[in-house]
Amino acid sequence: LFFSFFFFSSFLSIKYLFMLFSFPSPMFLGIGQMAATILILYVSKLNKIVHFPDFDKNIPVKLFPLPLIYVGNHISGLSSTSKLSLPMFTVLRKFTIPLTLLLEIIILGKRYPLSIIVSVFAIILGAFIAAGSDLSFNLEGYTLVLLNDIFTAANGVYTKQKIDPKELGKYGVLFYNACFMVVPTVIISFSTGDFQQATHFQHWTNFLFVFQFILSCFLGFLLMYSTVLCSHYNSALTTTVVGAIKNISIAYIGMLIGGDYIFSLLNFIGLNICMAGGLRYSFLTLRGNSKPEQPGDEE
């Protein structure tokens, strides 16, 4: 529930930051979200609200390759948000689900029943139908969101692998991920001109824009935290598919208020097939059928 709420809030906040104010610098926003993560967790650790290990030379080894996946996921996700209509972004993000399923089988050695696999492929069928009839096709946007799917799937699986409470724990994973990648992201932002565009943006004197920017940074942290929390108590696949419930409201609200959705019958049919597959998976998960066939795995 927390994951769904914060995904919904964070996505809309970021989407309207780009739409209403035409903010040109997704990487700069990513830096803001990393800075918010570091600040919030560090202050919380100092006040003994949260606990995670102090830095030592073994932490980079324990965390690798999560920081690289994390920054790729962050940048591609923020960049793709501004390139596509809200409903099409929602549909194309569905490809994260089979990628997560595949990586869990390969990396974590998990197995899922046929009913789950059928639900996953129903989601993909709907996504293919919807994307194939997209009248606002944007090659750059499609490429970025599909890269984001790959990074998100890898991030979910490796996060599940790394958040052992005896090692870094969920707070340690969040904190050190942000610490290791904030400087490289700043360098990339400088070299691409993203940072300069952000610093010269005309709306920094606009209170509403500043408030929206800070809110997006804060919600970005909450989204990352809720994602890790969901992965901790469930499987990476369930974390990915639990978004199917909030995707229904996101897609249909986007048709009404986004202003950038072009209606097509096949696109609409594909959206509904996609949502039906997601709901079917959610139903099976709630019934407990998605528990991997491995003894001792916490679901």
Instruction: Name the DSSP letter for residue 50.
Output: S
Amino acid at 285: T
For residue 179, pLDDT over 60 is answered with: yes
Residue with tokens 């919030």: 40
85 touches 252 (CB < 8 A): no
* Pairwise CA distance, residues 143 & 124, whole Å: 17
The percentage of the chain sitting over the pLDDT mark of 70, rounded to a whole number, equals 71
* Pairwise CA distance, residues 288 & 2, whole Å: 20
Each residue's pLDDT tens digit, 39-84 = 999 999 999 898 888 888 888 888 888 878 877 877 777 676 666 6
Each residue's pLDDT tens digit, 275-292 = 777 777 767 766 664 444
Tokens read off for 243: 């978004």
154 touches 69 (CB < 8 A): yes
pLDDT in the model for residue 298: 42
Please state, as a whole number, how many other Cβ atoms lie within 10 Å of the Cβ of residue 127: 24
Of 118-132, 165-179, 240-254, the range with the lowest mean pLDDT is 240-254
For residue 103, pLDDT over 80 is answered with: yes
**Confidence band for 261, pLDDT divided at 50, 70 and 90:** low
Better-predicted residue by pLDDT, 111 or 5: 111
pLDDT in the model for residue 39: 94
For residue 246, pLDDT over 80 is answered with: no
* Pairwise CA distance, residues 233 & 167, whole Å: 16
For residue 297, pLDDT over 50 is answered with: no
For 165, the 3-state DSSP assignment is coil
pLDDT in the model for residue 299: 39
> Ramachandran region of residue 48, left (φ > 0), alpha (ψ -120 to 50) or beta?
left
Better-predicted residue by pLDDT, 240 or 225: 225
Written in H, E and C, the secondary structure of 95-107 is HHHHHHHHHHHHH
Q: How far is CA 105 from CA 100, 121, 235, 267, in A?
A: 9, 16, 12, 31
Q: Is 65 exposed, middle or buried (0-12, 13-18, 19+ CB in 10 A)?
A: exposed
Residues 6+ apart with CB under 8 A from 254: 85, 86, 87, 90, 261
Each residue's pLDDT tens digit, 9-46 = 555 556 666 667 778 888 888 888 889 999 999 999 99
